[in-house]
Amino acid sequence: MSQMITIQVNGESFTLPAGSSVSNLLASIGSEQESVATVVNDQIVRPDNRASFRLKKGDRVEILIFAGGG
């Protein structure tokens, strides 16, 4: 069984296998159908880089969408 790591996703704890990428994270929370922006530790991770960007223990990830606003 692979080792698990805990990260913060949108302010909440989230556990996933060590070595997971941002793309893996999006797939596991079901947001791959949405147009999202991803930010890891205040650094923007562009769509092209999500598959190669490996998450580490303690990373703070923000997954953002466009919602209604004035």
Partner 1 sequence: MDSLHIGSYTFSSRLILGTGKFSSSSVMLEAVKASGTQLVTVALRRFNREQPGDDLFTPLTSIPGITLMPNTSGASTAAEAVQAARIARELSGSPFIKVEIHPNPQHLMPDPIETYEASKILAKEGFLVMPYIPADPVLAKRLEEAGCVSVMPLGSAIGSGQGLATAEMLKIIIRESAIPVIVDAGLRSPSEAALAMEMGCDAVLVNSAVAVAGNPPVMAEAFAEAVAAGRKAFAAGIMEKSGIAVATSPLTSFLGTEA
Asked whether the beta carbons of 15 and 59 are under 8 A apart, the reply is: no
Smaller CB distance to partner 1: residue 3 or 43?
A: 43
Question: Least separation, in Å, of the C-beta of 19 and partner 1?
Answer: 22
Residues 10-49, mask of contacts with partner 1 (x by CB under 8 A): xx-----------------xxx-xxxxx-x--x-x-x---
Chain residues in the site for partner 1 (CB under 8 A): 10-11, 29-31, 33-37, 39, 42, 44, 46, 62-70
